[in-house]
Every structure is written in C-alpha cells, then in structure tokens.
Structure 1
Amino acid sequence: MSYATKKLAEEKVFKDPVHRYVHVRDQVIWDLVATREFQRLRRIKQLGTTYLVFHGAEHSRFSHSLGVYEITRRVVDDVFVDYPEWDNSERLVALCAALLHDLGHGPFSHAFEHVFNLDHEAYTRAIILGDTEVNEVLRRVAEDFPQKVSDVIEKTYENQQVVSLISSQIDADRMDYLQRDAYFTGVSYGHFDMERILRVMRPREDQIVIKSSGMHAVEDYIMSRYQMYWQVYFHPVSRSAEVILRKTLERAQELYHEGYTFKVEPTPFKSFFDGNIELQQYIELDETIIMTYFHFWTHEEDAILSDLSSRFLNRRLFKYIEYDPGADFKKVLELEELYKKAGLNANYYLVHDSTSDLPYDFYRPGEEEGRLPIHLLRSNGELSELSRSSEVVESISGKRRFDHKIYFPEDVLLENGKKRMLRKQILEVLNR
C-alpha cells in the first residue's frame, strides 16, 4: 500500500462545535495536522481583533482549517464519488489543499499583512514548497505532490473543479468561516442551510455547479455572507482595534529605523522591519509573541508606542466618524493643521480607514479580477448564471459597497491643559 492510499488503523475524529465531528481516515492528513507549521495555526486567531468586540471570537485558524477540510471531505467522499465528471484521483490533493489553505496567515492576519506588505497566500505556498515539515509529509505522497497542492491554492491547478472547491464564490472556505464565525461571535447572520447546498452540488467540466432546485439555499448563503461582512467583519469598533494594532507596529518599525534603543530588543520583528524575512522567521512569529511585545512596549519611553500598545491591550480604542473622501478632503487638511498646533501626531492619532465588499459578481470578460459566477444546473442539463434566475442575487450583483471612517482618540482631545482650546476646535471640526 502506498503512502497516498494509506489509511489509519482506526478513524480519528476532532469534536467540532460547527460540524459535530471532523473525520480523519487518511494517514497523510493525520500527519499534516501534526506538523509544527499546522499546529502554529492554533496561535493565530481566525478573526484577528474581533474578539475585542465579540468576546467569544477567540477561535483559531487551526479550527477553521479543519472545518474547511471536513466540508471538502464530505463533498468528495459523499457527494461527488459516484459522478463520472469527478476524477477521484484528485481526492487527496483537494483534501490537502483544503486543510492547508490558510497555512501562511500571520498574526492578526490582514492587519499584520497591511503593515509589512505581505501576502499570506504567497507564504502558504512557500511553506508547502519550502524546507518544512509540511513539505516533507507531502513529498511522501510524490515528489510533485507539494507543487500540485500549491497550484490549487494559487488557483493555477489544471483541474479547476478542485480549485472551485477551495476558492470560489461558493466554496468550503466560505461555508465554514461564515458558520464558525457566527457561532463564536454569537450572531445569527452567518447561518444558512449548508446541508441543502451540499446535497445539490454537482461536478461539471471545470467547475462546481448547483442544481436549480437549490437556488433558494444559495440565495440565503449569499445574503448571510453579505450580513456577516457588514455586521461582523467590518464592524467599526473592530476596525478601530485594527487601526491601533497597525499603528503600534508602524511606530515600532519607525523607531527601529531611527535607531531608538528599545528596553527589550525587538528581535522577532527585525527581519519584518527590514523587509528581509526568511521563511523560518515568518513561521516562528505568532500572536503570543506580538502580545508579549505589546506588554513590553507599554513601558517604553516613547510616548506614542507606549500609549498605542496600552490602548490595544486594555481596549481603550479610538472613536470614529463617517468620512467622505471627496467632500471631506478639506476637513482632513484642517484637522491635520490643528493637530500640528496641538502637538498631536496626526499619522498615529488621525487615521482614515476604508473598507469595501463585493458580495457577489458575475463574470465580465476582459476584467482583471473577473470572478467565476455560480451556475445553476437546470433539469435539461443547461447552465444558468445565478443572478439571471434570482432577483435577490441580481439586486446586489456587481455592486461594491464602500465604508470610510476617521478614527481618533477622543479621550486625548478632551484632556485639560494649555492646548484645550485647540483640542476643542479639533472636536468641533470632527463633529461638523
């Protein structure tokens, strides 16, 4: 028996609050879970700073990755197995890609990426292809197997059915994180009928399609995603925490390049500050180290670094106002000038944050980011793009929604002192 087909002597299960059980029968999967690179995901939160708003949101990338694997396993083992359009020799690459798809996330994920201009998917591929325990396990299957898994994550894999399972507008990744994030935040928005969607998924040529009888379940899924983004993922208070996290790291980096003497040398961050990161240095950094250094930095002599670190650790977040980048441009210039007179650093204490989401899109030939649409499979075998059949989906298709805010420390502006009048002026402009 080859390593690729080797089964465990007894099935292993992970008890899971979303899927009840995550089933592992393949030796490859069990060995991948045991690698140091995958275990590191226990120390990376799935929702970054959102736990400062929804206190239950402490779940990790580890549990999410297991969930994506389990959904994919159910599809390939229970739904697709008897369909001639599905090549079961792709089973293992699909399962491994599902399990490892988030392997390259850094601490606090997207906020961390923003500061140091990183791409977690590029690091996922680097871990899969590099000198790692994960790579060693994958190479036991075949020498080219790590490259196949990497290609799935890069979306360049020849069989686009496999890619669609992991990354599309209705994939195992989204179906897990919507339900998991809803469960741990305690909201109801992310719930949809996944069982129904799985029952009506079908392999077809180079994509995954949905039987037309399942259209309403897909509508519910898309609206759940829409609500989760605006009620949870883009929550303005969570974004305030992200702003402070980013600015803390930016301040530490700025001080490092100025030659500032830290009380505790920021050794784990030096390669990130220099922009010269080796793979092992990236793998070794997790959220426990970030939080430890934030504790250290609260005692630094630099007032800005000390204040920002303390704000993040003790949840003294910035307030915010709505902001129109076009109409309010002059207001920002006025505020920056008032900040300068008041001795406040606008770069760290007057922050514009922008976010946007495109809940569903149909394919537009020639567009750089053209997305494969969700296709419905009709009883006559023909395919129909979802928004052509669903008025609900049509109403939001291709419509990107933006949200802009300015974040500032209201408590600092309310302090007494010689510059109280200047600070009063700043508040007046902010609330105009």
Structure 2
Amino acid sequence: MKEKIFRDPVHQQIPVSDQVIYDLINTPEFQRLRRIKQLGTTGFTFHGGEHSRFSHCLGVYELARQITNLFTDKYPDIWQVEDNLLTMVAALLHDIGHGAYSHTFEGLFGTDHEAFTQEIITNPQTNVHHILSKVAPDFPDKVASVINHSYPNKQVVQLISSQIDCDRMDYLLRDSYFTGVQYGQFDLARILSSIRPIKNGIAFTYGGYHAVEDYLLSRYQMYMQVYFHPASRAMEVLLKNLLKRAQHLYPKHVAFFEKESSRLIPFFENNYQLDDYLRLDDSVLNAYFQAWTESHDPILADLASRFINRKIFKSVTFSDASKANLGQLEKEIQAVGYEPTYYTAINTSFDLPYDIYRPDSANPRTQIDIIQANGHLLELSHQSPLVATLMGTFHGDQRFYFPKEMLLPDDLFRATKENFLAELEKM
C-alpha cells in the first residue's frame, strides 16, 4: 500500500506501509480508543493530560516497528523475521480492550481489559478478527498469545510486555509530554541503539546501561509525581463512589437509569457482553454524569456534580499503626451529615520500580540483562548501584479521603469539626 504518515508529538512521524496495520487502525474497535483517555482522572490534575489510548497505541506500534526493522537488518540469525508483523500488530492492539475510565470501572464492575483485548482479537464477530484472519486462520490466536504472554518466542512477548518494553517506553514519554512534566523523559535513541535479541528474550549492551538506568528512574519519578498524585486519586475515589451509588440505586430506580444511562444497565445487572462493553467510552459516561446531577437522589446528584466540576476530596496519609483511628474519623464525618460509604475512601497506591525475575512469586517479572564484553549477561542491579537501591522496594502511600468541607469553618458543626481535626492530627 502507499505509505500513510501519522503526525505525532512524541515520535514526530509514524509511517504505516502495511495494509493489515492500516486496516486495523480504521476498525470501529480501534477508533473507539480515541474516546478513551490514556490517563483517566489524571487530566483533572494535569490539565494537558487529555491524550487518548488511540495515540498511545500508535506510539507503541511505532516503537515496535523501529525495533523489528533493527532486528531484521542486524540480527537475522537470532531474530525470526516472520514475527515482524505479529510484533507490530500485538503492539498496536495491546490496549484495545481498555474501557471507559478503565481501572476505576474495572475495580467496581469486575471487568478485565486484558480479557476483552483477547476477545476483540479472537471473536469472529469483530472487525479486528476479520482483518487478522486474512493473514492466516491462526493469526488472531497468535496475536492473543502475545498479549497473554504464552507465545513461544519470548523476544516478541518481552517487546510488548516486560520491565522495559514498547508499551512502557511510549507511555512514559507521551504522558510526560502531555502532562507538562520532565520526569518521564529518557534517552530513547540510546536505548533503541543498545537493545538486542537474545535466546530467551531481549537484553541491552553495556554501553547502553546508563540509558536503561535513566529509564527506570524516570519511571519511578512518574509514578511518584504523576500517576500517584493525591488529587488524581481523589478524583478516582470520587468516580468510584459515584458509580457505586448508581449501582446501589439501580434496583429501585430502574426507570430513571433506563432513561438517563441505559448502556450501564448490563453492568448493573452483571450481564454484559462484548458489544455492551464496546458501547461505553469516557464521553458516554461523562454524559451520564451530567444527567445524574439532576437526580432526585441527593447523594448521586451531589457526587456527580462534584466529579463534573472537580470538587475533589481532601486526604491524609496513614500507616498501619494509625489505621485504627479511621473509624473515629468516619463517625465525625457522618455526624456532619455525610454518608461514609460514599464520602470517604481508602486509596492505596504502591509500585515496585524494579525487581529481578522471581519465578516463585505470584506475578514474576522479567529482569533486565546487560550484555558484558565477554558476551555473558549480568542482571542490571549488579551493574548499577542506583538500580540496586530501587530493587525490591515498594514506593507509595495509603490515603484516607474525605469531603473538603470537613476542613472549612462552619458554626453549626464547629464542635464536630474540631473533634475531626483533633483526630486528624493523630494520623
């Protein structure tokens, strides 16, 4: 096909010259990703973070395209050239199953974006499956096996999902660019020039290990400064409580939800199919939230208004030792008139920036190997004192969220709020 160029703020140009890739981009399932925000509620904190899963998936495809071209040209003896298209397709489609306000929605309704990704790829009723089947009858299953990490060629799997892969490299650079921070920046060109296929995956040359080290530090900083930002988590908490209230009200207010938010009903009833899932996106939910601001239920209307107008909850960090005090805080909040079920929440966010491969762990991670002058592999933390410091350590915090009004002066509830502040100081 004639080459098509997608202009991109991160990679400048993303060329597409394979008809399969171009046809996949133009499917309704992939175009839907334009209506799914990459960062969910983070855009309420970093106002530039409004980019979509669509642009991210194109970026991941572009990195996979560059790497497969590099491996084909320089390492045909160890890289299987016949896996080029498979790698690029898996990169393009790796997030196609993400839903509206993905992680928050998943936590409440039990959906799984990775399972939906595989279903979109393997379901004969989807446009994506129809295009993939033209390559070969078993091609959809091969793509799905890369997504679920069962594909035999671990080089392909690790390019899509590992501690340093096309997905993570793109979202760090892209999220950094759109949120207006510098934390996620790293030397992509140096990493791409030092990446190598090895027998059971990928590794990096000794000359590029500082760039890999910089990438891991950038990832750590993005989690601490952007992804775990207290205000973004406050909006996530608010969104979860809003949907939880709607789910609670649905059985007694079916007519209201049939009129104002019919596409959520299959999820309220826990009886949804792929088509139901694909009909939802961020814009649909936002329209529902607007309608809910006029609900006769004061809690639903208030939570919807808070979310739409960014009236975020405040928070305080707590430790396991002080967790016992949270019950008293909830009592003080309830005394003022706020139902704790919907106006308080505990949010825990911890990340493991880097860890070596531990096959006996619940979710074993791939480790990052550095190729030495003699050709042997050395795990990164043995090469880098900085990474050794990060290895095996969790970073983040636990927060208790509550209405901002608890901190505002109010003569009517002065005594109660003074008690609340006194309890807050114990945390």
Which interval holds the TM-score relative to the shorter structure?
over 0.9
* TM-score, normalising length: structure 1: 0.95
Is the 2:406–2:420 contact (alpha carbons within 8 Å) kept by the matching residues of 1? no
CA contact (8 A) 1:72 1:94 kept: yes
Residue 189 of structure 1 aligns to a residue whose secondary structure is coil
User: Residue 427 of structure 1: CA displacement?
Assistant: 3.1
Q: Tell me the CA shift for residue 419 of structure 1.
A: 4.1
Counterpart selection for 1:313 from 308, 322, 330: 308
Residue in 1 that maps onto 2:74 = 82
Which region of structure 1 is more displaced relative to structure 2, 385-394 or 413-422?
413-422
Give 3-state SS (helix, strand or coil) of 2:400's partner. Answer: strand
1:12 counterpart (4, 23, 33): 4
| Partner in structure 2 of residue 4 of structure 1 | none
Give the deviation of 1:351 after TM superposition: 1.0
Q: Offset of 1:328 from its aligned partner?
A: 1.7
User: Counterparts of 1:33-432 in structure 2 under 5 Å?
Assistant: 33-83=25-75, 84-130=77-123, 131-259=125-253, 261-262=255-256, 264-324=259-319, 326-411=320-405, 414=408, 416=410, 418-432=412-426
Contact in 2 for aligned 1:413/1:424 (Cα 8 Å): no
| Residue 365 of structure 1, CA deviation | 3.5
Q: State the superposition RMSD in angstroms.
A: 1.5
5+ long unaligned stretches in structure 2: none
Deviations 1:123-152 (A, max 9, x none): 100111112100111011111100000000
CA distance in 2, matches of 1:238, 1:348: 17
Query: C-alpha displacement at 1:420, in angstroms?
Result: 4.1
Shift of the alpha carbon at 1:332? Answer: 1.0
Q: What letter corresponds to residue 263 of structure 2 in structure 1?
A: P
C-alpha contact (below 8 Å) 2:33/2:52 kept by paired residues:
yes
1:62 and 1:36 map into 2 onto residues whose CA distance is 12
* Residue 257 of structure 1: how far off its partner (Å): 3.0
CA distance in 1 between partners of 2:378 and 2:212 (Å)? 14
Gaps of 5+ in 1: 1-7
Residue matched to 1:5: none
- Distance, in Å, in 2 between the alignment partners of 1:420 and 1:228 is 40
Q: Deviations over 1:302-335 (max 9, x none)?
A: 11111111111111111111111x2222211212
The 1:412–1:303 alpha-carbon spacing in structure 2 relative to 1, beyond 3 Å, is farther
Mapped partners of 1:60, 1:239: distance in 2: 19
Give the secondary structure class of the aligned counterpart of 1:191.
coil
Shift of 1:261: 4.9
User: In the alignment, residue 78 of structure 2 is paired with which amino acid?
Assistant: E
Using the alignment, how far apart are the partners of 2:240 and 2:247 within structure 1? 11
2:35–2:52: 8 Å Cα contact kept in structure 1?
yes
